[in-house]
Amino acid sequence: MAKDSTFDVVSKVDKQEVANALNQAQKEIAQRYDFKGTGAEIDSSGEKLLIKANSEERAKAVEDVFGSKLVKRGISLKSFDSGEPYASGKEFRIEGTIKEGIDQPTAKKITKLIRDEGPKTVKATIQGDELRVTSKSRDDLQEVIAMLKNFDDADLQFVNMR
């Protein structure tokens, strides 16, 4: 009897690369002429990021600077979840988080996608914040990986191919 082949679908972010992107963004914001005197800054406390500026446009510009630094460091913008700018006193703020792991609704979407559009021999099971995909055929698993590379709701990585 042939042994099943498996791989795991995860959504992980290198925290050191996020910290480096944050430091680069802070340096650029401090040096750029168009941010002088606008109170523009970006800070991190654990998983939360807080962007502050004196106008909504400046806050969005700071968010764009941070986003560009993430992309340069190889981190997908799908991993950065930011809210809408809101007024807080005389400044505008944007709160954001770096998403890690696959949440339940997204995991259910992925399993439904695999069940509906993937090969019939492939089974996907949710295990905490990961998915385990199993099949007898490695070719079917590679077909599923190719299909999931186009998934838009989360930044996915494929690990532990056995």
Mean pLDDT value across residues 48-57? 89
Please tell me which residue, 119 or 93, carries the higher pLDDT value: 93
Residues 94, 22 share a domain: yes
pLDDT value at residue 141: 85
Evaluate if residue 23 carries a pLDDT over 90.
Answer: yes
Chain centre to alpha carbon of residue 154 = 6
Domain that holds residue 44: 15-98
Q: Among 79, 98, 117, identify where a domain stops.
A: 98
Task: Kindly state whether residues 65 and 109 are assigned to the same domain.
Answer: no
Can you name the residues that pair with 78 across neighbouring β-strands? none
Q: What is the CATH number of the domain that holds 44?
A: 3.30.70.990
pLDDT-derived band at 64 (thresholds 50, 70, 90) equals very high
Q: How many domains does the chain have?
A: 2
How far is it, in rounded angstroms, from Cα 71 to Cα 58? 20
What sign results for the dihedral spanned by CA atoms 71, 25, 34, 38?
positive
Confidence category of residue 2, pLDDT binned at 50, 70, 90? low
Instruction: Tell me what pLDDT residue 1 has.
Output: 43
Beta-strand ranges (E) seen in 12-140 are 41-45, 48-53, 80-82, 86-88, 91-98, 123-127, 130-135
Residue 67: predicted pLDDT = 92
Averaged pLDDT, 57-73: 91
The closest of 77, 80, 114, 75 to 94, measured between CA atoms, is: 80
Task: Say whether pLDDT at 81 is over 50.
Answer: yes
Q: Does residue 107 share a domain with residue 69? A: no
DSSP 5: E
* pLDDT given at position 44: 86
Same domain, residue pair 59 and 122: no
Worst-scoring range by mean pLDDT, 84-93, 120-129, 148-157?
148-157
Tens of pLDDT, residue by residue over 98-149, are 888 888 888 888 888 888 888 888 888 888 888 888 888 888 888 888 888 8
- pTM of this structure: 0.79
State whether 29 and 89 are in the same domain: yes
Is residue 68 over pLDDT 90?
Answer: yes
Summary mean pLDDT of the chain = 86
Instruction: Name, in order, each residue with C-beta under 8 angstroms of 35's C-beta and a sequence gap of 6 or more.
Output: 29, 53, 58, 61, 62
